[in-house]
Amino acid sequence: MKKISYLGPEGTFTQEALLKYAGSLNDITLIPLPTIVDVIKSIDRGEADEGVVPIENSLEGSVHITQDILTFESEAKIIRELTLPIKHNLIAKKGVKISQIKKVISHPHATAQCRMFLSANLPEVEIIAANSTAEAIKKLTGLDPDTAAIGTKTAAGLYDLEIIADDIEDSKANKTRFIFVGSRIPPKSGFDKTSIVCFLKKDKPGSLFNILKEFADRNINLTKIESRPARKDIGEYVFMIDMEGHIHDKVVYDAIESLRRNVYMIKILGSYPVWKEKS
């Protein structure tokens, strides 16, 4: 039976992403873990076959802890991706009306993303911070009925609570990209993406240009480029690059091999199918 770890506890958006991909979950054991580090390390230790963590949000940008652990502390590889629309819900105990709510508990990012709804409908409400939306929903079961939480539909069902207002997020374009990590490079699907990290030999004028030129000369489209601290001196960075194509495509392979002459090291984070929304 396949074991899949994910950022828990039960009821997180990460679990919703996993459920969206896995469907009926036949022959799958789910392992909720408390941190992104724990999920990725579960692959390195052989405790799970795959792990699921967030890596990017359309409003808040990259999830840096995911990037850094994959870059510096793990040999796990990205094996697929999934993008999930983030739908926030106001959740309370059964029978409670929105007019009764005096307190709202959730993760600070969730309450911030629902600012306009809260201002219009609950202007005097007290905001209480939780470590995650799932934790907020779990805590709600032991709190007074005048307290509501912002969280997922999955968590509401898990704890037998009621959604009293749905889709309360300010931006309907709010999406999070999740990645599945494993210990292998999947075969080509015909519509793939490759993620790498470039470690520079020495920071000097033209360093980034020389990296980009290898891809431009081969007409390889870069879908993302981002710098992260190299965990050395201040001002030293690594470059994280996503590109179209699979590592086993000759043009992608040649570009990366040619690039190795200009950098200290290249780490392949993964080569995997691009997410396509199911119809």
Closest Cα to residue 152, out of 12, 30, 19? 12
Round to the nearest angstrom and report the end-to-end CA distance of the chain: 28
Whether residue 203 contacts residue 229, with contact meaning beta carbons closer than 8 Å, is answered with no
**DSSP states along 163-211:** EEE----S-TT-EEEEEEEESSPPPP-SSEEEEEEEE-SS--TTHHHHH
Q: What is the DSSP letter of 69?
A: I
Residue in 66, 133, 152, 176 annotated catalytic: 176
The CA distance from 266 to 107, in Å, is 36
Rounded Cα gap, residues 29 and 275, in angstroms: 23
Q: Could you confirm whether 176 is annotated as catalytic?
A: yes
- Omega prior to 9 cis, within 30 of 0: yes
Rounded to whole angstroms, the Cα distance separating 213 from 29 reads 45
Compute the distance between CA of residue 60 and CA of residue 40 in angstroms, rounded to an integer.
21
Q: Is 178 among the residues known to form the active site?
A: yes
DSSP state of 220: P
Biggest alpha carbon–alpha carbon distance for the chain: 66
Q: Which of 13, 66, 117, 178 is catalytic?
A: 178
Distance, in Å, from the CA atom of 114 to the CA atom of 109, rounded to the nearest integer, reads 9
Cite the active site residues.
176, 178
